[in-house]
Amino acid sequence: MTIVIETQDLVKKYGDLFAVDRLTFDVKKGTVASLLGPNGAGKTTTVEILEGLRRPSDGRATVLGYDVTSEYGKIRKQVGVLPQDFEPFDRLTPTEAVAYWGRLFNRAVTKEDVRKLLADVSLSERAKVQGIHLSGGEKRKLGIAMSLVGEPELLFLDEPTTGLDPKARRDLWGLVHRVQKEGRTVVLTTHYLDEAEQLADDVGIMHHGKLVARGKPQDLVATHGAATTIILGGAGPAGLHEVTRRGIRAVLDHDDVLVRVSDPSEMRIVLAKLSSIEIDLKDMYTKRGTLEDVFLGLVGAKMEEGVLQE
Amino acid sequence: MNRILADLMAFGRQYLRSRIGAFFVFIFPILLILLFGAIFSQTGSSSVTVPVQDLDNSLMSRGFLSALNNTTVVKMSMISPTVDLQSYIKDNSLSVALLIPSGFQRQVLESMQANGTSQVNVTLYGDPSKSTLGQVEGVMEAVAEQMNFKLVGASRIINVDVRPVASSQYTYMDYFLPGIVGMTIMTSAMYSMTSICGEYRTRRYFKLLATTTLSKAEWLVSKILFYSLILIVSLVVTVGVGIAVWGVHITIDGMVIAFIVVGALLFTSLGMLFGTIVKDPESGVALANAIGFPMMFLSGSFWPVESMPSYLQTVAKVLPLTYVNEGLRDAMIFGNVESALVNLGVVAVLAALCFVVAAKLVSWKER
């Protein structure tokens, strides 16, 4: 499969701080690659280097076969970008902004093209409203439409669903899948774990500028997270004491006791042991491992309302 | 070219919808024309009212006052002969007042009989800090001199014939209007661009534009085209108001349009150059004001550079707006093509230099 992005020991330093620390990875054509990590992990700095917006301090990066520092002009029209800090032009309507942006990519954008793009991002009803009057989520949708208007071969979406409501998020996920089906490549940065799990073929987990893990979401869970967790609801410290006394490794999470089972073949043994213990429980259930577990294990990040926190 | 036109259209829409930009291009110069016109266009016929206490009330004193009134420069208003004039001046905060003493006619006749060996005085009270005193004093001396000639049967031999430099039909407003056009080119293009660069940096528009195929030079060209177009419209509107309200007599030809285009190129590039050091729109406005205001006053927008002290004239020579203003006056009033071309050349060279440096120095990318 063709490589669209390739980095080799990529470094970005600000004084003594390594925002990106010897990053080496690649992205294959037609895939959705996601850089995942808490705020300050180096995701945006990395994609801005790949977008030709920042110069790396060291190392090498190529996009669509061209060097990002010396040859970016050659690939500009093949790349669409939604920056993390996107703001629309205050006095242009979404219709005008999308048409304008298309012409900056040398595309003869018709009214029908613009109408379809705005419909794709659920912004049709606000098509004639000036940017200054759009809500945060609507501005984000406009940014996505603008990033797509040049029909890019490679699309960078930096935190695309921040500020969007659940329906708009799912609509965008559908849009990303459609873009991928057309054979285009998407690089996505996010701190929403469910977004990465839903969209990405390839997830890179970044922490303090380094790539600490990489792979398909399910492989990452299998390799770095707990495959399954048995939850003893309301067992409390007494329950934890009883469980650990029987040689079962467990942790207390609020008033629940969590027993992580990495190897599926051990599940029956562990359940048998647990059923022999007399513990007061509210309920007992199992939960399959997720990327959240991977984060807990790899970088100590926590989730708050679905968002990774340092 | 397609990208430049696209950016021109999008920028134009935003600029005109914001209304602030439109105010400075269309409304502000008109306000200045109306305001300055109201102040200066009546200079030749305005009169100063002079309170007069005529203690003589004779044929001679009334004749003297009538001669003063006929000048149309001063207008007499009579004060009762019973009041104390000095107290009256103080109580009414008068800047000027005239006293014709009792026995004025008799003293004049006596002096004539004595072949002018004695003089007769009228007293002009006045505040030396006010310009009206000098104006009234000059008129009175001229009228008194004319009366002296009549009384002794003499006539003036040497006369001063004053002629304006430009064609005799030109007024102060004709001279003033090209300065307003020059000032509008500077304020519209330079102020706006400096502020826009600050805004584009703060709101990350530069970064956004850097992800497209639009180059910095193309972006700058679209701004220059836009300012050229709206400044030509502004020129037509401003001159139209000048003609309709003040009856100005000026020429608009290809040379004037060339000054608008090259001036827009110069001040747009200069604004972008200043924009390289501003971080937000507020600091952009402050920097543009710090540079623009002194330039506006020192470059002959409102008065001739020659009327300023010599050291300020030296400063004016290094200010680009001076050459725009002088060139516009050459083209619009004097019809001096040769001088206009020299000024246009200076502005064009400066503009080209600023354009190249601005396009090179401005960075859209993050560090």
Query: Distance (Å, rounded) from C-alpha B278 to C-alpha B202?
Result: 10
- Comparing CA positions, the residue from B271, B282, B205, B192 lying closest to residue B234 is B192
Does B366 sit within 8 Å of A53, measured CB to CB?
yes
In a mutagenesis test of the A interface, which of B195, B208, B221 is the best target, namely the one with the most A β-carbons within 10 Å?
B208
Query: Distance (Å, rounded) from C-alpha A280 to C-alpha A284?
Result: 11
Domain boundary among A222, A254, A273: A222
Q: How does pLDDT run across A114-158, given as a tens digit for each residue?
A: 999 999 888 999 999 999 999 888 898 899 999 999 889 999 998
The CATH number of whichever domain residue A235 belongs to comes to: 3.30.70.860
Does A53 sit within 8 Å of B210, measured CB to CB?
yes
Domain boundary among A222, A252, A277: A222
Assess whether A142 and A78 both reside in one domain.
Answer: yes
Does B366 sit within 8 Å of A92, measured CB to CB?
no
Q: Which residue of A has its CA nearest to B3?
A: A104
Assess whether A119 and A250 both reside in one domain.
Answer: no
Rounding to the nearest 10 degrees, give the CA dihedral for residues B107, B111, B112, B113: 100
Assess whether A199 and A248 both reside in one domain.
Answer: no
Alpha helices in chain B (DSSP H): 2-18, 20-22, 28-40, 59-70, 85-91, 104-113, 131-152, 172-186, 192-202, 205-210, 216-241, 254-275, 281-298, 310-317, 320-329, 337-361
At B55 the pLDDT is 92
Identify whether A109 is part of a domain. Answer: yes
Q: Does A86 touch chain B (CB under 8 A)?
A: yes
List chain A residues with CB under 8 Å of B6: 100, 103-104
Domain range enclosing A189: 3-222
Query: Distance (Å, rounded) from C-alpha B118 to C-alpha B70?
Result: 27
> Residue type for A3, please?
I
At B42 the pLDDT is 58
At B340 the pLDDT is 92
> Residue type for A170, please?
R
Assess whether A239 and A129 both reside in one domain.
Answer: no
Q: Does A105 touch chain B (CB under 8 A)?
A: yes
Please give the share of chain A, as a percent, with pLDDT higher than 90: 35
Query: Distance (Å, rounded) from C-alpha B126 to C-alpha B130?
Result: 8
The partner residues of A206 in beta bridges, in order of sequence, read: A211
Q: Which residue of A has its CA nearest to B205?
A: A87
Identify whether A9 is part of a domain. Answer: yes
Query: Which of these ranges, A82-86, A184-188, A227-231, B153-157, has the smallest mean pLDDT?
Result: B153-157
CA–CA–CA angle A69, A70, A72 (5° rounding): 80
- Comparing CA positions, the residue from A30, A38, A83 lying closest to residue A190 is A38
Identify whether A295 is part of a domain. Answer: no
Closest partner CB to A85 (pick from B5, B204, B213): B204
The count of domains in chain A is 2
Which residues on chain B place their C-beta less than 8 Å from a C-beta of chain A? 2-3, 5-7, 9-10, 13-14, 17-18, 203-205, 207-214, 365-367
Q: Which residue of A has its CA nearest to B4?
A: A104
A212 within 8 A of A204, measured Cβ to Cβ: no
B74 within 8 A of B139, measured Cβ to Cβ: yes
A192 within 8 A of A160, measured Cβ to Cβ: no
Assess whether A134 and A251 both reside in one domain.
Answer: no
Does A81 sit within 8 Å of B204, measured CB to CB?
no
Does B7 sit within 8 Å of A96, measured CB to CB?
no
List chain B residues with CB under 8 Å of A84: none
Q: Which residue of B has its CA nearest to A98?
A: B10
3-state secondary structure of A299: coil
- Tokens representing A299 are 């970088």
Closest partner CB to B2 (pick from A77, A106, A130): A106
Q: How does pLDDT run across A16-54, given as a tens digit for each residue?
A: 888 999 999 999 999 999 998 877 888 889 999 998 889
Say if strands A3-14 and A58-63 run parallel, antiparallel, or are unpaired: antiparallel
At B346 the pLDDT is 94
Residues of chain B with pLDDT under 50: none
- Tokens representing A102 are 């298309």
Q: Which residue of B has its CA nearest to A90?
A: B14
Identify whether A207 is part of a domain. Answer: yes
Closest partner CB to B213 (pick from A76, A81, A92): A76
Compute the nearest-CA separation of A297 from chain B (Å). 34
Identify whether A297 is part of a domain. Answer: no
At B94 the pLDDT is 86
Assess whether A192 and A83 both reside in one domain.
Answer: yes
Q: Which residue of B has its CA nearest to A75?
A: B213
Query: In 10 A of CB A140, how many CB atoms?
Result: 24
Identify whether A302 is part of a domain. Answer: no
Assess whether A26 and A144 both reside in one domain.
Answer: yes
Q: What is the DSSP letter of B131?
A: H
Q: Does A215 touch chain B (CB under 8 A)?
A: no
Domain boundary among A200, A222, A244: A222
Task: Give the mean model confidence (pLDDT) for residues A158-183.
Answer: 86
Q: Which residue of B has its CA nearest to A14?
A: B367
At B162 the pLDDT is 67
Assess whether A214 and A238 both reside in one domain.
Answer: no
Quote the longest CA-to-CA distance of chain B.
Answer: 98
The partner residues of A188 in beta bridges, in order of sequence, read: A34, A157
The partner residues of B99 in beta bridges, in order of sequence, read: B53, B123
A93 CB-near residues (< 8 Å, 6+ apart): A127, A128, A129, A130, A131
Query: In 10 A of CB A270, how many CB atoms?
Result: 20
Q: Does A210 touch chain B (CB under 8 A)?
A: no
Identify whether A98 is part of a domain. Answer: yes
Instruction: Give the DSSP per-residue string, B266-280.
Output: HHHHHHHHHHTT--S
Does A103 sit within 8 Å of B211, measured CB to CB?
no
Answering whether pTM is above 0.80, one says no
Instruction: Write down the mean pLDDT value for chain A.
Output: 86
Assess whether A12 and A94 both reside in one domain.
Answer: yes
Query: Chain A 137-166, CB below 8 Å of chain B: which residues?
Result: 150
Strand boundaries in chain A, DSSP class E: 3-14, 17-28, 32-36, 58-63, 66-67, 79-82, 154-158, 185-190, 202-207, 210-215, 228-233, 251-253, 256-261, 283-288, 302-304, 307-309
Does B365 sit within 8 Å of A105, measured CB to CB?
no
The CATH number of whichever domain residue A176 belongs to comes to: 3.40.50.300
List chain A residues with CB under 8 Å of B208: 81, 83, 86-87
At B5 the pLDDT is 94
Identify whether A150 is part of a domain. Answer: yes
3-state secondary structure of B156: coil
List chain B residues with CB under 8 Å of A149: none
At B276 the pLDDT is 83
Assess whether A214 and A234 both reside in one domain.
Answer: no
Assess whether A10 and A158 both reside in one domain.
Answer: yes
Q: How does pLDDT run across B110-125, given as a tens digit for each residue?
A: 888 887 778 888 999 9
B98 within 8 A of B50, measured Cβ to Cβ: yes
The partner residues of A187 in beta bridges, in order of sequence, read: A33, A156
- Tokens representing B251 are 């020429």
- Comparing CA positions, the residue from A79, A53, A54 lying closest to residue A65 is A79
Does B365 sit within 8 Å of A54, measured CB to CB?
yes
Assess whether A31 and A178 both reside in one domain.
Answer: yes
